[in-house]
Amino acid sequence: MKMNKLFNVLCLISLLTFSFISCSDDDDNDFFNSVETLPTDIAFLDVNLKGGEISGELTWKKPINTSELSSIVIYASNDGTTKEARIDEVSIDKEKYTVEARNYTKYLLLVPKNKKDVEGSTFAKVEITDETGNNVVTDLTFEDTDYTKDKIAGKLSWTKASGYINLSKLIIYTSEDGTIKKDKLAEVNPDMEEYTIASRDLSKYFIVVATDAENTEVEDFAKIEVKDAYEVSGVYILNSGKMGNNNSNISFYNFLTTEFKTKVFESANGTSLGDTGQDMVVYGSKMYIAVYGSGVIYVTDKQGKKLAAIESVKGDKKQQPRGLTSYEGKVYATLYDGYLAKIDTTKLEIESQVAVGRNPEYVRAANNKLYVANSGGLDYNTPLGYDKTVSVVDVATFRETEKIPVVINPDKMAVDSEGDIYVISNGNYGDIPNTLQRIDASTHKVTNVGNATWMSMNNDKLYIIYSQYDANWNQVVSYHVFDAKTEKMLTDKFITDGTTVNKPFSINADPVNNYVYIGTSDYTNNGDMYIFTSDGKLVKKLDTGGLNPAGAYFASWIIR
């Protein structure tokens, strides 16, 4: 009987214990299944910009009900359901955790654990984007604004990386090969999209590289090749050559580098300039070259590369261009058969012509009019003789409105700041000498100023050469300066340092640095070009690289 009672008591205790344990497990599951025990607002931003790795700050809001919880266990998972790798465990009161660099997994799981050290069967999770490839800035541009050769300065611009918020900074380097970083130029915030490069020596590349949250430079970077923009400023010398020999050419003297190049047109185009280069004009981004003997006006860029060859024929003969000028968007050319042509500077063709006098030479523009020197040079030995007029052509209507009488055989022309026209008439090479005249801008009254053979105007100073021969056929040359403002001769001895210039052939004044260029010719050997300051001191003497330097023409441009 006692044994039966003992057995019954033991059975009852076992039953009660089993029932208690079973009830405890059910209570745990019920507790974990409540959303109040799960973290909320989970966020993770990968700041590790290396592909296949993640790191960064994991944040969340702790569960609403933490009474039975002790911690949060963080797992890595690739499918969002399986706990694959335990990362760490943090106190239930924590709301952030720094994930150190590790292999990429698609999810992070946050599993609550209770005070009995039991992990819940439900958990919160966050999907991860592997931030890679967006750490490099794009659309990198740089334009050099320091126009000194082998110097650069300007604004380096880019579009910020799409993942710029993961970056700590951007570093700008120079590079010589586009791969190896050389000089560090700057560190800037990752949200910036431009940086101004101060003037410095030329580098072939700029590199922009980002650093991650740990201030470590990422592997990839953006780069841009630097194009050195520099100014070319100098003078083109047109060598006419000998008529009929097809040996005209152009040379160039660079003011900034003192480099001298010959046969610029031939080098740029692989062909000769032609026969008897007569005149040039530099206008806008182009140069216009009148080649009289070849009957063509070449249009080139400022480096001599041919853009067009303008030819015009009347009857069965080419019209031969002689003098050039530019005005109000057009270029004008005298044609030796008695016409003035207007050139469209966009289409690069002659758009219209107007008849003027016989054998027109120079043309100049002032007062909305074009003034054309009609020489009649081809009629010197005929009953007609030389012409002795200057045609006035209205720019708007392109019609001749007047012929102004001057000394016979007018040729060279210049204009002062008030619009007065200066004309040199060559006379008859006998009893009528070379004569300098001024045509009043308003009245067209003609006044004799003196004698001159060549001239060039700059800042209302007219630089004059007068060449004549004595009874023994010795050339006698004088150099004058005339003030167009006061209408007085300033000096008859322009050259002040004793330099002797034999056989002058042309004169041009440079409006940029106020130098005066005097070309010489003996009709047999290459000409010389003497460069003087405005007060008559020799700066340099150049072999022009060709026969009969017709003039010096000034140009500047930017090479990019």
pLDDT-derived band at 468 (thresholds 50, 70, 90) equals confident
What is the pLDDT, as a whole number, of residue 24? Answer: 46
Residue 30 pLDDT more than 70?
A: no
Mean predicted confidence (pLDDT) in 50-60:
88
Among 12-26, 192-206, 487-501, where is mean pLDDT lowest?
Answer: 12-26
With beta carbons less than 8 A apart as the criterion, state whether 170 and 188 touch: yes
Average pLDDT, the chain: 91
With beta carbons less than 8 A apart as the criterion, state whether 82 and 199 touch: no
Please give the Cα distance from 274 to 310 (Å, whole number).
13
Residue 513 pLDDT more than 80?
A: yes
State both tokens at 366: 């002032």
How does pLDDT run across 210-227, given as a tens digit for each residue?
998 788 898 889 999 999
Chain centroid offset of residue 186 CA: 24
Mean predicted confidence (pLDDT) in 439-464:
97
What is the pLDDT, as a whole number, of residue 15? Answer: 42
pLDDT-derived band at 48 (thresholds 50, 70, 90) equals confident
Mean predicted confidence (pLDDT) in 5-33:
47
Please give the Cα distance from 415 to 437 (Å, whole number).
12
Chain centroid offset of residue 514 CA: 26
Please give the Cα distance from 472 to 488 (Å, whole number).
32
| Residue 23 parent element (H or E) | helix 2-32
pLDDT-derived band at 161 (thresholds 50, 70, 90) equals confident
| Residue 140 parent element (H or E) | strand 138-142
What are the backbone dihedrals phi and psi of residue 457, each rounded to the nearest 5 degrees, phi first?
A: -100, 135
How does pLDDT run across 65-110, given as a tens digit for each residue?
999 999 999 999 999 999 999 999 999 999 999 999 999 999 999 9
State both tokens at 310: 């303008």
Mean predicted confidence (pLDDT) in 477-489:
96
pLDDT-derived band at 35 (thresholds 50, 70, 90) equals confident
pLDDT-derived band at 535 (thresholds 50, 70, 90) equals very high
What is the pLDDT, as a whole number, of residue 133? Answer: 52
Please give the Cα distance from 555 to 250 (Å, whole number).
13
What is the pLDDT, as a whole number, of residue 16? Answer: 41
How does pLDDT run across 351-398, given as a tens digit for each residue?
999 999 999 999 999 999 999 999 999 999 999 999 999 999 999 999
pLDDT-derived band at 53 (thresholds 50, 70, 90) equals confident
Please give the Cα distance from 323 to 336 (Å, whole number).
9
Mean predicted confidence (pLDDT) in 182-203:
95
Mean predicted confidence (pLDDT) in 465-486:
90
How does pLDDT run across 540-559, given as a tens digit for each residue?
999 999 999 999 999 998 88
Please give the Cα distance from 443 to 423 (Å, whole number).
16
What is the pLDDT, as a whole number, of residue 242? Answer: 95
